[in-house]
Chains A and B, each alone.
Chain A
Amino acid sequence: MVNIKYAKDSFTLGENRSVLDCLTEHGVPIPFSCRSGVCQTCLMRATGGSPPEAAQQGLKDTLKLQNYFLACVCHPTEDLEVALPDDAQAAIPATVKKLELLNEEIMRVMLECHAPIQYKAGQFINLFRNRSLGRSYSLASVPHEDDHLHIHVRRLPNGRVSGWIHEELRPDQTVEVRGPAGDCFYVPGNPEQGLILIGTGSGLAPLYGIIRDALRQGHNGAIRLFHGSRDQRGLYLVGELRELMKQYANFDYVPCLSGSDVPHGFAAGRAHEVALKEVPNLKDWRLFLCGHPEMVKQAKKKAFLAGAAMKDIYADAFNVSQSG
């Protein structure tokens, strides 16, 4: 007898029933559409037990690794604890170890979690100022390489969390974090595939993590980073990235400036436009796009039309909360 656990309930899975059948028959509102394992509307995540391989067919590798599955074609033979993708995770306290300005508006925050947290470089956590006020920040740190969690917080005008982090947060203070979440990270395998990473502003945070994670895991194909800002003051970690270029022959860093003043050593134009000009045919490349939502949206479409496969495009749009 197989049991499906959802929230506080446990249901017995009937013969020839899918996880979706089981939950909907018990009145759990799970969204669904095609009921054939294709449209991905009924995407769920196993929080206990492993979903059968057949229930993960067609999902992105990053989702498979996190035990996501399609409920409508999921026929488990062992007990499974399941949740909807956005069901809240437990909060973990974390101590601020270090605060460091990387440029005029971006602060690197290093956090030490009180309980171990399994994450991939490039995923994000939610950091809370208080119970009801939190924001998402991408992880620039690499597990097993960096001791703490690293996030890059850009100060937003009237930002209720970013302003607090820049003005009031101090080392040794304890905050609450939830997560990790997100599917924009490096998946091992295919180590000779070319990677193109495009970011604007603090969109460099996940990319800086992903690049070092890929290098650490022995990625030997080309890794090309295009980081964009309007002027030089918006760029950061320039020295570290140039150092990384010296260390790894397959890594290349192109700082892009979209403003009018473009000194020697910088590319003129928006980061995604510079990248597409340098690599016009993106067939067989893997792409990572992070930062300004409009840039991510445009770059995703252009990259796809330039030949990149949908499954090879990983994106994280930094949406700014409307409430400041």
Chain B
Amino acid sequence: MTEKSLAAWWEQQHQSLYQNLGGEAAVNAAVDIFYRKVLSDDRISHFFEDVDMDKQAAKQKAFLTMAFGGPQNYTGVDMRRGHAHLVQRGLNDTHFDAVMENLAGTLRELGVAEELINQVAAIAESTRNDVLSR
């Protein structure tokens, strides 16, 4: 598939999830809670030292938009490129699991139904191999 048709396919598949969650407003409500959890999590917080917090928050927002089924154009290559330096610093499955846990925790805090949380988790899970450069 070309990049454009891939993006169109993505939007068709996930539009209802994104709408059910509440669209961009839901992402805005989740981003600070999620980023706060990640920064306070001793298992992974060291990966976030020495980065510009505003830029980092924008990236967290992009990630949540994708996981919520929202409009996005990330490709597997982007995911690999964006995390390669962290893999070199030892990023592995346990860290990915911790992020997944924080993601679900964020959604529970916002009162999202378990069924939708599972759908979000499935999308996030689909990036695991690219994020970990496998």
- A-B pairs with CB below 8 Å: how many? 48
B72 pairs with A40, CB closer than 8 A:
no
Please name all residues of chain B whose beta carbon is closer than 8 Å to the beta carbon of A281 when the two chains form the complex: none
Check if B59 is an interface residue, CB within 8 A of chain A: yes
Check if A295 is an interface residue, CB within 8 A of chain B: no
Please name all residues of chain A whose beta carbon is closer than 8 Å to the beta carbon of B122 when the two chains form the complex: none
Given contacts A34-B62, A39-B62, contact A310 B54 (CB under 8 A): yes
Please name all residues of chain B whose beta carbon is closer than 8 Å to the beta carbon of A58 when the two chains form the complex: 28, 58, 61
A38 pairs with B53, CB closer than 8 A:
no
- Select which of A33, A34, A36, A310 is within 8 A of B57 by beta carbon: A310
**What is the CB-to-nearest-CB distance from B56 to chain A, in angstroms, rounded to a whole number?**
9
Please name all residues of chain A whose beta carbon is closer than 8 Å to the beta carbon of B54 when the two chains form the complex: 60, 310
Q: Which of A1-9, A199-207, A299-307 contacts B (4 or more CB under 8 A)?
A: A299-307
- Alpha-carbon separation in the docked complex, A300 to B70 (Å): 29
Check if A262 is an interface residue, CB within 8 A of chain B: no
Check if A309 is an interface residue, CB within 8 A of chain B: yes
- Alpha-carbon separation in the docked complex, A58 to B23 (Å): 13
- Interface size for B (C-beta < 8 A) is 23
Check if A129 is an interface residue, CB within 8 A of chain B: no
Interface hits, B44-62 → A, CB 8 Å: 53-55, 57-59, 61-62
A33 pairs with B78, CB closer than 8 A:
yes
Please name all residues of chain A whose beta carbon is closer than 8 Å to the beta carbon of B73 when the two chains form the complex: 34-36
A34 pairs with B35, CB closer than 8 A:
no
A36 pairs with B39, CB closer than 8 A:
no
- Select which of B32, B39, B59, B70 is within 8 A of A39 by beta carbon: B59
Mask: chain B, 22-37; 1 = CB below 8 Å from A; 0 = not: 0010001001100110
- Select which of A33, A36, A310 is within 8 A of B53 by beta carbon: A310
**What is the CB-to-nearest-CB distance from B129 to chain A, in angstroms, rounded to a whole number?**
20
- Select which of A35, A40, A305 is within 8 A of B40 by beta carbon: A305
B32 pairs with A310, CB closer than 8 A:
yes
Please name all residues of chain B whose beta carbon is closer than 8 Å to the beta carbon of A300 when the two chains form the complex: 53
- Alpha-carbon separation in the docked complex, A305 to B54 (Å): 14
- Alpha-carbon separation in the docked complex, A176 to B28 (Å): 42
Check if B9 is an interface residue, CB within 8 A of chain A: no
- Alpha-carbon separation in the docked complex, A39 to B65 (Å): 10
- Alpha-carbon separation in the docked complex, A175 to B133 (Å): 53
B35 pairs with A36, CB closer than 8 A:
no
Interface hits, A163-201 → B, CB 8 Å: none
B65 pairs with A38, CB closer than 8 A:
yes
A309 pairs with B62, CB closer than 8 A:
no
Interface hits, A294-322 → B, CB 8 Å: 300-301, 304-305, 309-310, 313
B36 pairs with A39, CB closer than 8 A:
no
Interface hits, A127-175 → B, CB 8 Å: none
Residues of B within 8 A of A (CB): 24, 28, 31-32, 35-36, 39-40, 53-55, 57-59, 61-62, 65, 70-74, 78
Residues of A within 8 A of B (CB): 33-36, 38-40, 57-58, 60, 300-301, 304-305, 309-310, 313
Question: Could you list some 18 contacts between A and B, CB below 8 A?
Answer: A33-B62, A34-B62, A34-B74, A36-B72, A38-B61, A38-B65, A40-B55, A40-B58, A58-B61, A300-B53, A301-B39, A301-B53, A304-B36, A304-B53, A305-B39, A305-B40, A310-B31, A310-B54
